[in-house]
Structure 1
């Protein structure tokens, strides 16, 4: 029973990591006291963290890619190289034709090429396959859609973002104390940042901590228009990430669940869609890095 409640709470927190216990209780249909206890237990265990993620465009990151890496022999040195670079926000050992996958976010295609060249130069790297994101359809790890052109942030906004990157559920009272403003003013600023899609606060499942929550990556090859497929994926429980890509797949996605049985059920539903011509999956065996926050460079006005 607690595992089912945990799954529902994580899904709710991935949508809004700052939702109050009362709001969470209403969403998952459980008593507030039970919700408070389970959320605190998840946070204390390290299995789940709540963090703010600024829109990649706000950080100047306009080139995003999914990279699959085949390694000859042990992958430790390659993992270390991927984790050490600021370009990577996600690094995982996987099953299947490749040994590792990573997500890279950089400022330009030229910078991406440089990061890939550095990766290819690692002695044990046998092959690198890159999927360029053309757009992110849905994600629990970042704000949705393009950054609005009229969004502007000042030093106070940046300080609030940095604080929420460290603790996404930090109270408005504590945030106000840190930035020297009233709680009501801070609440308004955070609401504006979230409402303008400059910031997203969400639960991140720490799958490298032995949480036992399986995750599956998948690549889809499609025939015809992708709108029905992307709409289905965006509305499906457990779908954490979907991006349109250029490369060997038309879409790449991440599925998370509390059981492999549920993951199998979702993949069967996806394969049943008329537009899906092929589905390739890989299991995430161990996550070495999952850090979507990145410092924002301050520029003088």
Structure 2
């Protein structure tokens, strides 16, 4: 069973098992969680409520970018003059940055930008160049997103999930997506009340959104509550087509993000691990992939912003 590459140190065996199931299917019923974990339904419910109420895990809907019109993605490294943290904080305040980190290596700050189109991408590049302390930027333009952090992208598929046409959504669907972003385990009755439909009609809509991969409901774990999170970025230069190397990278345990594109690298990867031993194992596995000529890594010293939500009605 895939463990979705998050830190589960610090949890006992039952809590860890429940969290893993919630990561795979955040809307799994308590009876199903009980059967998978080998405990009673009441025990599973109590454990899940405690994990959520104490902030160890948040169950949220991760909306597929193309469903909400996000089609342009870029990884931007910022060359900084002076302290890095103020630059990272300024970049994090931009509404279209989804990830910002202070890092080791030649560039002090990295950011991920997700916007509707190329014109919007250019506007964000201009805004980042104008941040005080930024001397220049370098862009990796993503052309294929093979694995997105915590998404339902299918690993190793001939066609990545995000390349399939985005399902059509109406305003009711968008409201449901916005509500699921906030609380992925919201009951059908609660969702129905918010959108003004019957419970069966609401359930049918939610199931359609899940089955079409418009949204994936998963558990996001607070690494501070479970152990030290080790995170790095890895840029690969490959021989030949980048897509084969990217697909192979997406199958490795510990790799939570993979994009093929253009720039200094051919493939960009994100890696999460519970400790440095696991981190080294994954980065070595990336270096050992066929046709990889060069691998550059940068360590995330401080993740200033990490968000998986979009501006949707709730």
TM superposition score normalised by structure 1: 0.85
Residue number among 238, 245, 253 corresponding to 1:237 in the alignment: 253
Partner of 1:91: 100
2 CA distance for matches of 1:256 and 1:3? Answer: 18
Q: CA RMSD in A?
A: 2.9
Q: Write out aligned runs for 1:188-203 (5 A).
A: 188-203=204-219
Query: Mind listing any 5+ residue stretches in structure 1 that lack a counterpart?
Result: none
CA gap 1:163/1:112 in 2 versus in 1, 3 angstroms: same
Q: Is residue 2:56 matched to residue 1:56?
A: no
Q: Write out aligned runs for 1:1-301 (5 A).
A: 3=11, 5=13, 12-24=21-33, 31=39, 39-142=48-151, 144=153, 145-146=161-162, 148-149=164-165, 151-206=167-222, 212-226=228-242, 228-296=244-312
1:70, 1:100 within 8 Å by CA — same for their partners in 2?
yes
1:224, 1:275 within 8 Å by CA — same for their partners in 2?
yes
1:218-249: per-residue Cα shift (whole Å, max 9, x none)? 11111134455334322222211111121011
CA gap 1:272/1:44 in 2 versus in 1, 3 angstroms: same
**Cα distance, 1:83 vs. partner?**
1.8
Q: Return 93-102 or 40-49, whichever deviates more.
A: 40-49
1:242, 1:252 within 8 Å by CA — same for their partners in 2?
yes
**Cα distance, 1:136 vs. partner?**
0.4
1:148, 1:196 within 8 Å by CA — same for their partners in 2?
no
2:67, 2:168 within 8 Å by CA — same for their partners in 1?
no
1:70, 1:126 within 8 Å by CA — same for their partners in 2?
yes
| Residues paired across the two proteins, number | 296
1 CA distance for matches of 2:16 and 2:107? Answer: 29
1:53, 1:200 within 8 Å by CA — same for their partners in 2?
yes
2 CA distance for matches of 1:65 and 1:25? Answer: 41
Query: Mind listing any 5+ residue stretches in structure 2 that lack a counterpart?
Result: 1-8, 154-160
Matched residue SS, 2:69: coil
Q: Return 73-82 or 238-247, whichever deviates more.
A: 73-82
2:147, 2:250 within 8 Å by CA — same for their partners in 1?
yes
1 CA distance for matches of 2:194 and 2:123? Answer: 38
Matched residue SS, 2:138: strand
**Cα distance, 1:147 vs. partner?**
6.4
2 CA distance for matches of 1:24 and 1:281? Answer: 38
1:90, 1:103 within 8 Å by CA — same for their partners in 2?
yes
2 CA distance for matches of 1:8 and 1:254? Answer: 24
1:47, 1:209 within 8 Å by CA — same for their partners in 2?
yes
TM superposition score normalised by structure 2: 0.82
Q: Return 204-213 or 122-131, whichever deviates more.
A: 204-213
1:93, 1:287 within 8 Å by CA — same for their partners in 2?
yes
**Cα distance, 1:125 vs. partner?**
0.8
2:177, 2:312 within 8 Å by CA — same for their partners in 1?
no
